[in-house]
A and B are shown apart, each in its own frame.
Chain A
Amino acid sequence: MYRYSEFDADFLRNRVAQFRTQVARRIDGSLTEEEFKPLRLMNGLYLQLHAYMLRVAIPYGTLNGAQMRQLAMIADRWDRGYGHFTTRQNIQFNWPALRDVPDMLAALADVGMHAIQTSGNCIRNVTADHFAGAAKDEVADPRPVAELIRQWSTDHPEFQFLPRKFKVAVTGHADDRAVTAAHDIGLRLVRRDGALGAAVLVGGGLGRTPMIGKILAEFVPMADLLPYLEAVVAVYNLIGRRDNKYKARIKITVHETGIDAIRAQVNAEFAARKPLFSGVDQALLAEITAHFAPPAFSDQGVGGFAADYAADPVFRAFVDTNTAPHRHPDYTIATISLKAHGATPGDCSSAQMRLIADLAAHYAHDEIRISHEQNVVLPHLPKRHLKAVHQALLGAGLATANIGLLSDIIACPGMDYCALATARSIPVAQEIATHFDALKLEHDIGPLKIKISGCINACGHHHVGHIGILGLDRAGVESYQITLGGDGGPDAVIGERAGPGFAYDQIVPAIERILRAYLGLRMGRAESFLAAYRRVGMEPFKAALYGAGGAEADAA
């Protein structure tokens, strides 16, 4: 697991002390809000609709038990006894008082955590697969590469004033769990003739103009990766648009310039830069890789796992939906759902955090991950302990067997918290989950990703939901636009708009019509919603949504 150095620890303590002074000066009136705002944003403190919000980074979604316990302590002492895990692999506290924030930051620094935000038009936090280092058939752990890129890009003099912010994601597995195709640069680690390298995607992103990244290079050997990325960013720095904020992301540059022309420029730039790299980066990569070394897996077999699996149907359902194959045959990756039917997606109480911390420490090499799908993962759990863990989760309302199913909904905070929202998203998620739970249709419907955003910024990734829901303000009324067929996996696709939006009280019935249509037309249970959509297209669903007359009354 990645360890912060003494330098990092001192740096964090100094930052907290500095921010403590700034908060004091804001409260005593010596700093205006205009002066204070950039300082608080740099320290992860936002002003939302009803209160401040503190956004805490969880690099690569990786936490240990002590860190999780500290998050619980912070939630109890200075917030409302819970935290909200987000699609950006961070945790948000929704109710801090301004005066308390320096103490919260100090408590975070005590466990090597921080709320420092990369902001501005630079290379933002690099993200990686939440099963990194654990998944079966992984090409390589993506986190060392992600961390190498982070260290190289931080304070890189050439890249502090890019046309726009720049996000990088890395996956080390063919099942792309890092949504690499929706990032400015997406890296997919691959091996060619035994040598490690990366396929490079460029120009993906959601938000106002959603686009899927395009393949810029099929294979860049590891030793060439940094000079190659530097070449990409340099080309973007030169030709990316600076005249219009909405056209400044690299996805627009790629779209307007064409992928082949960009590739030619990148290759020329790469040839010029490669000789300037001395190989120091490869030494650094080796050092970082050592920090992310896997735990010492035990060889004590799987105990009574098979017997329990056969005997206990509740346990069996949990194993079938919430676990994934681990690189070690006696281990499993267990996902703890933060999506109990009717709960707020991603919320975790302090008691739940403590239980998860204890389970990780006792049974699972003290490692915890947060997924961008707003769930918690025990990446290294021996199968012989799975039954005990499940038993403990049951008692804490954390054993919902719904990973990858209808109620495993991603929802952004929407207008219940976010100052930028145009409509609510949390209650829509809650009502969809409870409605289908009452109908007992969830397991019959099978794999389904519903994703909800409360405005066009697309924090809920609605474009890549099999069913996407976007909340808008239509003439002073909440209106929900549905997209179908989106996919955030290896063959990523942007969903297609179904037609006019639905009012708040009509959105759950609309989702039910879509899913009843699916149940009627699928070719057996083996055909998932997404597969059926790809086979039959939009028309049958449009008919189910809008009746035979179709979508003539387009209000949008």
Chain B
Amino acid sequence: MSATVTPKVLTANALLEGDVVYLAPDGGWTRQHDRALLITDAATAELHLLDAAARGHEVVGAYLADAKAGPKGPEPIHFREVFRTRGPSNYAHGKQERA
């Protein structure tokens, strides 16, 4: 597999609350996209995905999402991932109410 792919973050939903979470550099889960681990090579990405599948008691539905480096940390690229960083647009529910 090529090492030069679009950088990724590993994302999923937390088992208990359903909240959107990201794999953090320390191997834990963070709810903030800009604190996520930015994964830049494909082989590592696949390994993390396998690892997340084995952590099904913590998270559900893990997948890799395209991301890019930003001044405060990784930033989402696709609008769906942008929405997932904050919550719905009709109410300040979800993560944005805790921000």
Query: Cβ of B89 and Cβ of A51 under 8 Å apart?
Result: no
Query: Cβ of B89 and Cβ of A426 under 8 Å apart?
Result: yes
Query: Cβ of B80 and Cβ of A98 under 8 Å apart?
Result: no
Query: Cβ of B77 and Cβ of A51 under 8 Å apart?
Result: no
Bin the interface of chain B by size: 20 to 34
A442 at the binding interface (Cβ < 8 Å): no
Chain B, Cβ-Cβ closest to A48? B18
Query: Cβ of B16 and Cβ of A27 under 8 Å apart?
Result: yes
Query: Cβ of B18 and Cβ of A99 under 8 Å apart?
Result: no
Which B residues are in CB contact (< 8 Å) with A344?
Answer: 90-91
Chain A, Cβ-Cβ closest to B93? A80
Which of A33, A477, A478 has the most C-beta atoms of chain B within 10 angstroms of its own C-beta? A33
A50–B13 Cα distance when bound, in Å, is 8
Query: Cβ of A415 and Cβ of B60 under 8 Å apart?
Result: no
Tell me the residues in window 55-99 of chain B with beta carbons closer than 8 Å to chain A beta carbons.
56-57, 60-61, 77-80, 83-84, 87-91, 93-95
A427 at the binding interface (Cβ < 8 Å): yes
Given A33-B60, A47-B60, A476-B78, verify A424-B89 contact (CB < 8 Å). Answer: yes
Query: Cβ of B87 and Cβ of A50 under 8 Å apart?
Result: yes
What's the nearest-Cβ distance from chain B to residue A459, in Å? 16
Query: Cβ of A416 and Cβ of B84 under 8 Å apart?
Result: no
B19 at the binding interface (Cβ < 8 Å): yes
Which A residues are in CB contact (< 8 Å) with B16?
Answer: 27, 97-99
Query: Cβ of B15 and Cβ of A426 under 8 Å apart?
Result: no
A106–B89 Cα distance when bound, in Å, is 31
Chain A, Cβ-Cβ closest to B17? A97
Given A33-B56, A49-B84, verify A426-B90 contact (CB < 8 Å). Answer: yes
Question: What total of chain A residues lie within 8 Å of the partner, measured CB to CB?
Answer: 30
Query: Cβ of A476 and Cβ of B77 under 8 Å apart?
Result: yes
A47–B83 Cα distance when bound, in Å, is 16
What's the nearest-Cβ distance from chain B to residue A144, in Å? 38
A80–B18 Cα distance when bound, in Å, is 15
Query: Cβ of B61 and Cβ of A47 under 8 Å apart?
Result: yes
What's the nearest-Cβ distance from chain B to residue A53, in Å? 8
B37 at the binding interface (Cβ < 8 Å): no
A292 at the binding interface (Cβ < 8 Å): no
Which A residues are in CB contact (< 8 Å) with B19?
Answer: 50-51
What's the nearest-Cβ distance from chain B to residue A146, in Å? 33
A436 at the binding interface (Cβ < 8 Å): no
Which A residues are in CB contact (< 8 Å) with B18?
Answer: 47-48, 50-52, 97-98
Chain B, Cβ-Cβ closest to A421? B80
Which A residues are in CB contact (< 8 Å) with B90?
Answer: 344, 416, 426-427, 430
B20 at the binding interface (Cβ < 8 Å): yes
A417 at the binding interface (Cβ < 8 Å): yes
Query: Cβ of B83 and Cβ of A49 under 8 Å apart?
Result: yes
Which A residues are in CB contact (< 8 Å) with B77?
Answer: 476
Which B residues are in CB contact (< 8 Å) with A424?
Answer: 83, 89
Query: Cβ of A478 and Cβ of B79 under 8 Å apart?
Result: yes
Query: Cβ of B17 and Cβ of A98 under 8 Å apart?
Result: yes
A49–B84 Cα distance when bound, in Å, is 7
Annotate A417-441 by CB proximity to B: 1 below 8 A, 0 otherwise. 1000100101100100000000000
Given A51-B18, A80-B93, A427-B89, verify A32-B60 contact (CB < 8 Å). Answer: no
Annotate A96-117 by CB proximity to B: 1 below 8 A, 0 otherwise. 0111000000000000000000
Query: Cβ of A415 and Cβ of B80 under 8 Å apart?
Result: yes
A157 at the binding interface (Cβ < 8 Å): no
Which B residues are in CB contact (< 8 Å) with A417?
Answer: 88
A29 at the binding interface (Cβ < 8 Å): yes
The 10 closest A-B pairs by CB, nearest first: A416-B88, A51-B18, A29-B57, A52-B18, A50-B94, A344-B90, A426-B90, A33-B56, A427-B89, A33-B60
Apart from A27-B15, A427-B89, 19 more pairs, CB < 8 Å: A26-B15, A32-B56, A33-B56, A33-B60, A33-B61, A47-B18, A48-B18, A49-B84, A50-B93, A51-B17, A51-B18, A94-B93, A95-B93, A98-B18, A415-B80, A415-B83, A416-B88, A426-B90, A473-B79
Interface residues of A (CB under 8 A from B): 26-27, 29, 32-33, 47-52, 80, 94-95, 97-99, 344, 415-417, 421, 424, 426-427, 430, 473, 476-478
